[in-house]
Amino acid sequence: MGKYTEDAKELLELVGGKENIAAVSHCMTRMRFVLGDPQKADVKRIEAMKVVKGSFTQAGQFQVIIGNTVAEFYKDFVAVAGIEGVSKDAVKQAAQQNQNILQRAAAIAAEIFAPLIPAIITGGLILGFRNCIDQLYLFENGTKTLVELSQFWAGMDHFLWLIGEAVFHLGIPVGICWSVVRKMGGTPVLGIILGLTLVSGQLLNAYAVATTAADKIPHWDFGYFTVDMIGYQAQVLPAILAALTLVYLERFFKRLVPAVVQMIVVPFCSLVLAVCAAHFVLGPIGWTIGSAISGVVFSGITGSFREVFGAIFGFVYAPLVITGLHHMTNAIDLQLIADYHGTMLWPMIALSNIAQGSAVLAMIYLQRGNAAAQEVNVPAWVSCYLGVTEPAIFGVNLKYFFPFICGMTGSACAAVLCVSTGSTANAIGVGGIPGILSMQPQSMPTFAMAMVVAIVVPFILTVIVGKKKGIDKQSQIEAAEVAAMESATAITNLESEHKFKAFLDGEVIPLKEVEDGVFSEGIVGEGLAIRPTNETLCAPVSGKITVLMDDSRHAVGMTLASGVEILLHVGIDTVDMKGDGFTYLVKAGETVKAGTPLLTFSREKIKAAGHPDVTVCVITNKSDVAAFEFHTGMTAKTGETVIASY
């Protein structure tokens, strides 16, 4: 009978019994359940248990906080319940059954866009900065921008567009195609090529379509029919649809085509047909949807029910950003400015930027103890408040979904106030908080009031919902876990990194006795060597495996927590053996302790190949980190100290 048997029995009963558990696992401090019917869990009684520190539900998982003894509790629980635990990934997979369609769709979208987040954030910050220097009329009585006053900043503005265009005009369709194809198990390089065909320089830029006469749009002439040559710069929906088409075409042809010719037939047929579908069908459908939305917006902004329109537009604008269709509003804005010397549409767009940024600001508050989350949250919030919402939407709000809805709600409230007061902008281009500087002077006070609504409402709603969902608790728990792990690691490092152990049995010699000029002259770094009497290379110190030679398998690179980098090299010129006689026992990225076996080798095969089997340990960045003392001229056993640092 285990220490927690009785508590485990009680928890089993309170979660609804064995039959209500679809999957269970644990992490550092929590039991993670996927329940068949979450309503059967008696949360109040569970949290009243002495062994339980709290509970919350996240992404379809019911998580019960046990603390540092969770591993022992978990063993007793699975024994009492008579079930087998599964991995955390399996629990996440099973948890999808507790998610609705919107949650699943958001999860898929997050997985697609997660690899693109670094580029989106970078592009967002760059575009936000460019907005400030080339769109804000702050100088000479509000008649000139910084770019107009300074050739340096004009050049910088022009140069930075190189990156901005690469990210948002070209990179998003290409990146999405690559990400979707990779996620769905297709051939990623074909996804990249498909994406490039959507933004080719041969096509009319998507931004120019609205201002180009129909008879001036280039087209492909196939004799029996023509197809417009239109690009899909910054478009999301056409890229996703095209990539999915490519994936399913690949799967179809792989089932149909014999294996002997798949390498030729499958990529050719799949890519050609996917590109045809993208330009002949999927692209035009996207533009039809965009045109319909533009018509509705134009009617709403000039009609009698503009407050109703404002609420609807303020609510749906952020979802339009996801599809890329929001760019269609630029043409409407320009027409409104030409006809009425101002636009009431752009102010609502700026407010939507602010509202989504305010939702991210609330997530910064809720996750204030989660350093990893803040690395995404903070730059996304900054770029959003500067008028570029993609990092916030794709990097944060869609990931959790409820901040996205809270931002949409706050945007709708702010838009109603904005439209009802007739707030009008002179120009477009300046979004987010700087958007107030593009407003007509008489509209600045009313727009400022709308900005307050766009900041306060999403922030309060996101904090309220986030606390109900336990986001703040989860952040605190994760922060405590990280702190505990870092503390333990720091103590271990202080105790262990001062002493390096012998990595083999054998005679310890100085590097100058190694028959290799690179090592013996200290070109790679200082260290020592061992003439081995055994054939298993072990880690001399705790650290992370950072370098492995996949072809030759004769060397290992490690990085210690303090930043020290070491290289372990078995034999001289053994790279020529191309891995014959060598076997890795670890993987790149793995963290190991001193004494962990890293690889095995055959001394006999090394000798037969005509190479010395002397094995070196070199500290490649000694001067950057610490000083070391090398103990040579001794016969060591694996695990004995041979290097000391001070």
What is the average per-residue pLDDT within 508-531? 83
Contacts of 107 (CB under 8 A, 6+ apart): 59, 96, 99
Rounded CA-CA distance 408/410 in Å is 6
Query: What's the sign of the alpha-carbon dihedral 74, 80, 84, 90?
Result: negative
What is the average per-residue pLDDT within 258-268? 91
Place 505 in a pLDDT band, splitting at 50, 70 and 90.
Answer: very high
Rounded CA-CA distance 67/472 in Å is 17
Cα-atom radius of gyration of the chain, to the nearest Å? 31
Q: What is the pTM of this model?
A: 0.48
Q: Which residues are known to be catalytic?
A: 27
| Residue 583, pLDDT score | 92
Say whether pLDDT at 250 is over 90: yes
What is the average per-residue pLDDT within 635-642? 84
- Run of H or E residues at 582: strand 582-584
Place 13 in a pLDDT band, splitting at 50, 70 and 90.
Answer: very high
Q: What tokens does 76 get?
A: 């007793």
Say whether pLDDT at 597 is over 60: yes
Q: Which of 239, 246, 268 is nearest to 188 (CA)?
A: 246
| Residue 646, pLDDT score | 54
What is the chain's mean pLDDT, rounded? 82
Among 72-81, 85-94, 618-627, the minimum mean pLDDT is found in: 85-94
Q: What is the pLDDT of residues 373-428, one digit of tens each?
A: 788 788 889 888 887 777 788 778 887 889 999 999 999 999 999 998 988 887 66
Among 145-149, 246-250, 284-288, 378-382, the minimum mean pLDDT is found in: 284-288
Q: What percent of the chain has pLDDT over 90?
A: 31
Question: Diameter of the chain by CA atoms?
Answer: 94
| Residue 376, pLDDT score | 79
- 239 contacts 173 by C-beta, under 8 angstroms: yes
- Collapsing DSSP to helix, strand or coil, 74 comes out as helix
What is the average per-residue pLDDT within 227-240? 83
Rounded CA-CA distance 434/455 in Å is 14
Among 171-180, 319-328, 579-588, the minimum mean pLDDT is found in: 319-328
| Residue 606, pLDDT score | 92
Q: What is the pLDDT of residues 450-501, one digit of tens each?
A: 999 999 999 999 999 998 887 776 666 666 555 555 554 544 444 455 678 8
- Looking at the chain, how many residues does it have? 646
Rounded CA-CA distance 484/534 in Å is 38
Residue with tokens 């006070």: 445
Among 131-135, 174-178, 565-569, 625-629, the minimum mean pLDDT is found in: 625-629
Rounded CA-CA distance 400/397 in Å is 6
Q: What tokens does 135 get?
A: 């769109």
Burial of 147-171, coded b for 16+ CB within 10 Å and e otherwise, reads beeeeeebebbeebeebbbbbbbbb
Domains of the chain: 5-99 (3.30.1360.60), 303-496 (no CATH), 497-645 (2.70.70.10)
Among 160-174, 229-243, 473-487, the minimum mean pLDDT is found in: 473-487
| Residue 218, pLDDT score | 93
| Residue 454, pLDDT score | 95
User: Within a 13 Å sphere around the CA of 37, how many CA atoms are in the beta-carbon half?
Assistant: 9
Q: What tokens does 597 get?
A: 């076996």
Query: Any bridge partners for residue 147, and if so which?
Result: none
What is the average per-residue pLDDT within 154-158? 93
Instruction: Name the residue type at position 548.
Output: L
| Residue 476, pLDDT score | 60
Query: Any bridge partners for residue 204, and if so which?
Result: 230
Q: What is the pLDDT of residues 346-362, one digit of tens each?
A: 899 899 999 999 999 99
Instruction: Name the residue type at position 637.
Output: K
| Residue 491, pLDDT score | 44
- 115 contacts 175 by C-beta, under 8 angstroms: yes
Q: Which is more confident, 514 or 322? A: 514
> 10 Å Cβ neighbour count for 292?
12
Q: Which of 24, 207, 201, 183 is nearest to 111 (CA)?
A: 183
What are phi and psi for residue 275, nearest 5 degrees? -65, -40
| Residue 147, pLDDT score | 92
